[in-house]
Amino acid sequence: MLTDARILVTGPTGQVALPLTLALAADNDVIGIARFRDVAARSRLESAGVRCIETNLAAGEFGGVPDDVDYVLNLAVVKSNRWDIDLAANAEATGLLMARCRNAKAWLQCSSTGVYQPAGLDPRAETDSLGDNHRPIMETYSISKIAAETVARLGARQWNLPVTIARLNVPYGDNGGWPAFHLAMIEAGEAVPVHPDRPNRFNPIHESDIIRMVPRLLDVASVPATTVNWGGSQSVDLEEWCALVGELTGNEVTFVETEQTIGSVVIDTTKMHELVGATEIDWRDGMRRMVEAQRQR
């Protein structure tokens, strides 16, 4: 783990960022920047020692944000489905903040495997074709993530700032995630939407593995930027994890086929294993932990 470092985290109240920020705050000087509309999440962060600074990333309003940080974890994402807002907040803001923190030791740009052209069950490697993967549910998401990656690559070269672009697959854990939405639907007796091109396969990664892998992702940052897939070492069908959730909660699971959802995004983990190692949480254990945590809320 990182220790005694000054770390800037964008979007620290988010599903992925919150547990990571809290874990880092135990042994580091952590600054979180966001609009902080979630008062309870801000209070939780501040209680853990995180310095919270209200900012407008899209506007480049960084007053009070230190520029002498060791690491930047760019985990913020805006999904308004408005092109002007989402390109500014996700892509332009990346460049504006990189310019301010250009002297950092490393920058982690959290991207998404939603940048890949849909390819069914064919595992996607980092060099494979990009595309508008998430258009059926979020019109601006994939394109703005691709734009943000491009800005991050430019920033690495422009300011000699070591960068890792990590394409995250399906993050989940005690703090929620896509499988947690499925849990809520199953408990409510609702059918879970699945793409007709079945099975719907992904590489879910538990938040514990995310926290554990971040220091190594920063270690492999480089100029030009390093791009790597980031997901669980096990590929799993959505239908499988929903079946397990149903078993754990004693609920019947039903599915409805629709093209208005995300189809399979399976990742090639070869480069990830070479650079940062394999994940440790078995997906079954992770889902059990998620169900227990969510049902205690």
DSSP state of 102: T
- Which has the closest alpha carbon to 149: 77, 202, 70? 77
pLDDT of residue 119: 96
Exposure of 229 by Cβ count < 10 A (0-12 exposed, 13-18 middle, 19+ buried)? buried
Q: How many separate domains does the chain show? A: 1
How far apart are the C-alpha atoms of 117 and 52, rounded to whole Å?
37
Residue range 13-21: average pLDDT?
97
Mean pLDDT to the nearest integer, 59-67: 89
**How would residue 55 be classed by pLDDT, with cut points 50, 70 and 90?**
very high
The per-residue pLDDT for 187 is 97
* pLDDT tens digits along 274-296: 999 999 999 999 999 999 999 88
Q: Is residue 92 part of a domain?
A: yes
CA atoms of 295 and 292, how far apart (whole Å)? 5
The residue-averaged pLDDT of 162-186 equals: 98
Three-state secondary-structure class, residue 85:
helix
Do the domain assignments include residue 195?
Answer: no
Q: What is the mean pLDDT of residues 139-148?
A: 97
With vertex at residue 200, the alpha carbon angle to CA 168 and CA 294, rounded to the nearest 5 degrees, is 65
Q: pLDDT, tens digit, for every residue of 96-138? A: 999 999 999 999 999 999 999 999 999 999 999 999 999 989 9
Task: Identify the pLDDT of residue 131.
Answer: 97
User: Could you tell me if residue 95 is inside a domain?
Assistant: yes
CATH number at residue 25: 3.40.50.720
Going by pLDDT thresholds of 50, 70 and 90, the confidence category of residue 59 is: confident
- Which residues touch 245 (CB under 8 Å, ≥6 apart)? 179, 182, 183, 186, 251, 253, 287, 291
Q: Are 185 and 245 in contact (CB under 8 A)?
A: no
Supply the mean pLDDT for the chain.
97
Whether residue 189 lies inside any domain: the answer is no
Asked whether the predicted pLDDT for residue 258 surpasses 90, the reply is yes
Q: What is residue 57's predicted lDDT score, i.e. its pLDDT?
A: 87
Share of the chain above pLDDT 90, in %: 94
Q: Does some domain include residue 145?
A: yes
Query: 132 is in which domain, residue-wise?
Result: 6-172+204-232
Write down the pLDDT at residue 1: 79
The values of phi and psi at residue 172, to 5°, are -155, 170
Q: Is residue 43 part of a domain?
A: yes
- Asked, for residue 157, whether it belongs to a domain, the answer is yes
Encoded tokens for 73: 């974890």
pLDDT at 253: 98
In this prediction, residue 58 has a pLDDT band, given cuts at 50, 70 and 90, of confident
SS3 65: coil
Q: Give me 185's structure tokens.
A: 């639907």
pLDDT band of residue 23 (cuts 50, 70, 90) is very high
Q: Domain for residue 196, yes or no? A: no
